[in-house]
Amino acid sequence: MAKTAPKPDRKYSDRTPREERLAREARSEKKYSDVKSNPRAKINPDGTKTYDQSTFFASCPREVEHLLEKEIRDLGITRIEVEKGGVAFKCETEEALDVLLNSRVASRVFKEIQVYTITSEKDIYTMAKEKWWDKIFEVHQTFKINTLFDRETKEHFSNSIIFSQLLKDAIADNFREKFGERPSVDTGRPDITFLLRVERKPGSDLFNARILVDMCGEPLSNRGYREESLKAPLRENLAAAIIMTTDFDPSVDLFTDTMCGSGTLLIEAILIRAKVAPTYLKIRQYIEKKVPVFDFLKHPWFIVDRKSVRLFEEKAQAVYNHSLTALNELQTRQFFGFDLTERALETTRAHLYNAHIDPQIVTLNKRDATKITPMDEPPGIVICNPPYGERMGEEEELKNLYKDYGENLKHNFKGFRAYVFTSNPLLRKHISLGTSKRFTFYNGSLECRLLKYDLY
> Cα 191 vs. chain centroid, distance in angstroms?
18
Q: In angstroms, rounded to a whole number, what is the distance separating the alpha carbons of residues 147 and 209?
A: 10
What's the closest the beta carbon of residue 261 comes to ligand SAM, in angstroms? 3
Q: In angstroms, rounded to a whole number, what is the distance separating the alpha carbons of residues 297 and 289?
A: 14
Angle of the 121-128 helix axis to the 161-179 helix axis, nearest 10: 20
Of 304, 340, 433, 455, which one interacts with ligand SAM (CB under 6 A)? 340
What's the closest the beta carbon of residue 403 comes to ligand SAM, in angstroms? 12
- CB nearest ligand SAM: which residue? 261
Of 148, 232, 304, 455, which one interacts with ligand SAM (CB under 6 A)? 232
Of 264, 279, 308, 323, which one interacts with ligand SAM (CB under 6 A)? 264
Residue 59 · residue 107 · CB < 8 Å: yes
Q: Which stretch binds ligand SAM (CB under 6 A): 44-52, 83-91, 254-262, 285-293?
A: 254-262
Which string of x and - marks every residue 399-418 that binds ligand SAM (by CB under 6 A)? Answer: --x-----------------
Which residues touch 413 (CB under 8 Å, ≥6 apart)?
374, 382, 455
DSSP type of residue 185: B
Q: In angstroms, rounded to a whole number, what is the distance separating the alpha carbons of residues 97 and 91?
A: 10
Quick one: 173 or 404, whose CB is closer to ligand SAM?
Answer: 404
Binding-residue total with ligand SAM (CB under 6 A): 21
What's the closest the beta carbon of residue 383 comes to ligand SAM, in angstroms? 9
∠ CA 9-10-15 to the nearest 5 degrees?
Answer: 115
Q: In angstroms, rounded to a whole number, what is the distance separating the alpha carbons of residues 389 and 398?
A: 7
Conformation bin of residue 125: beta by default, left when phi > 0, alpha when psi is -120 to 50: alpha
Kindly state whether residue 245 participates in binding ligand SAM, applying the rule CB under 6 A.
no
Kindly state whether residue 265 participates in binding ligand SAM, applying the rule CB under 6 A.
yes
Beta-strand relationship, 335-339 and 254-257:
parallel
Kindly state whether residue 212 participates in binding ligand SAM, applying the rule CB under 6 A.
no
Kindly state whether residue 233 participates in binding ligand SAM, applying the rule CB under 6 A.
yes
Q: Give the chain's length.
A: 456
Q: In angstroms, rounded to a whole number, what is the distance separating the alpha carbons of residues 198 and 207?
A: 7
Quick one: 187 or 341, whose CB is closer to ligand SAM?
Answer: 341
Kindly state whether residue 278 participates in binding ligand SAM, applying the rule CB under 6 A.
no
Beta bridge partners of 197: 148, 210
Kindly state whether residue 113 participates in binding ligand SAM, applying the rule CB under 6 A.
no
Kindly state whether residue 268 participates in binding ligand SAM, applying the rule CB under 6 A.
no
- Comparing CA positions, the residue from 23, 1, 29, 442 lying closest to residue 241 is 442
Q: Which stretch binds ligand SAM (CB under 6 A): 8-16, 177-185, 256-264, 311-319?
A: 256-264
What's the closest the beta carbon of residue 435 comes to ligand SAM, in angstroms? 20
Of 385, 408, 423, 443, which one interacts with ligand SAM (CB under 6 A)? 385
Q: In angstroms, rounded to a whole number, what is the distance separating the alpha carbons of residues 281 and 271?
A: 11
Q: In angstroms, rounded to a whole number, what is the distance separating the alpha carbons of residues 88 and 328?
A: 36
Of 339, 389, 406, 423, which one interacts with ligand SAM (CB under 6 A)? 339
Kindly state whether residue 344 participates in binding ligand SAM, applying the rule CB under 6 A.
yes
Please report the sign of the dihedral spanned by the C-alpha atoms of residue 170, residue 175, residue 177, residue 182: negative
Q: For 199-341, where are the alpha helices, taking DSSP H only?
A: 236-245, 264-273, 280-289, 300-303, 306-329
Q: Which stretch binds ligand SAM (CB under 6 A): 134-142, 232-240, 412-420, 436-444?
A: 232-240
Quick one: 195 or 271, whose CB is closer to ligand SAM?
Answer: 271
Kindly state whether residue 338 participates in binding ligand SAM, applying the rule CB under 6 A.
yes
Kindly state whether residue 369 participates in binding ligand SAM, applying the rule CB under 6 A.
yes
Q: Which stretch binds ligand SAM (CB under 6 A): 4-12, 51-59, 60-68, 258-266?
A: 258-266
Quick one: 86 or 261, whose CB is closer to ligand SAM?
Answer: 261
∠ CA 104-109-113 to the nearest 5 degrees?
Answer: 165
Residues that bind ligand SAM (CB under 6 A): 230, 232-234, 259, 261-262, 264-265, 338-341, 344, 368-370, 385-387, 401
